[in-house]
């Protein structure tokens, strides 16, 4: 299988693709995101257009992994989004790869993360932060393999305050 990484927002229909992927994310791994499937399903078109605009603002990037089907369009099979909430820090959110495209041998997640790390360095960030749900061992293991370490920071998971989100950081310098 062949994959390519594209910026989200390159075409007028990306908002529809983003909506489709977001709903798939929430069905597959609901604990990894800060909204429910029902909430996302109820969003109108303007919300999806707004999300596209946000990932294209200065200090932001939205990436999609595209399974190249040979037609030039391809199917979005993963996403990663980066923001710079403060100077020197980049934040990674919206991480997901479709189950059929997961695995180190495919390299989709690694390739997207490489692109996010490169983007973060270009912004001058000295570290890349993320939070991972305490029960999302698969994601935490991937991040550890890529050099992220737990910072000791935690916060309640917004959809279930009894659960925790764990902060992880990757030094970029």
Model pTM score: 0.93
Complete edge-to-edge strand list for the sheet that includes strand 160-171 = 3-7, 60-67, 75-86, 89-97, 127-133, 160-171, 149-157
Using pLDDT thresholds of 50, 70 and 90, give the confidence band for residue 135: very high
**How confident is the model over 17-56, as pLDDT tens digits?**
999 999 999 999 999 999 999 999 999 999 999 999 999 9
How far is C-alpha 98 from the geometric centre of its chain's CA atoms? Answer: 12
Q: What is the pLDDT at residue 69?
A: 73
* Distance, CA of 103 to CA of 142 (rounded, Å): 10
Mean pLDDT of the chain: 95
Neighbours of 151 (CB within 10 A): 13
Express as a percent the part of the chain with pLDDT over 90. Answer: 91
Q: What is the pLDDT at residue 72?
A: 66
**How confident is the model over 68-102, as pLDDT tens digits?**
877 767 899 999 999 999 999 999 999 999 999 99
């Amino acid at each position: 299988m062949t994959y390519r990484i594209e910026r989200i927002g390159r075409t007028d229909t990306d908002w529809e693709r983003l909506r489709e992927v977001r709903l798939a994310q929430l069905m597959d791994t609901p604990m990894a995101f800060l909204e429910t499937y029902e909430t996302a399903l109820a969003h109108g078109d303007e919300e999806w257009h707004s999300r596209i605009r946000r990932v294209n603002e200065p200090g932001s990037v939205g990436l999609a992994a595209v399974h190249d089907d040979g037609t030039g369009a391809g199917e979005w099979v993963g996403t990663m989004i980066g923001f710079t909430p403060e100077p020197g820090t980049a934040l990674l959110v919206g991480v997901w790869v479709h189950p059929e495209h997961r695995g180190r041998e495919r390299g989709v997640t690694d390739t997207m993360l490489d692109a996010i790390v490169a983007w973060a360095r270009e912004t001058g960030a000295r570290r890349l932060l993320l939070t991972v749900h305490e029960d999302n061992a698969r994601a935490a293991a991937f991040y550890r393999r890529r050099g992220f370490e737990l910072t000791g920071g935690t916060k309640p998971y917004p959809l279930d305050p009894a659960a925790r989100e764990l902060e992880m950081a990757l030094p970029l310098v």
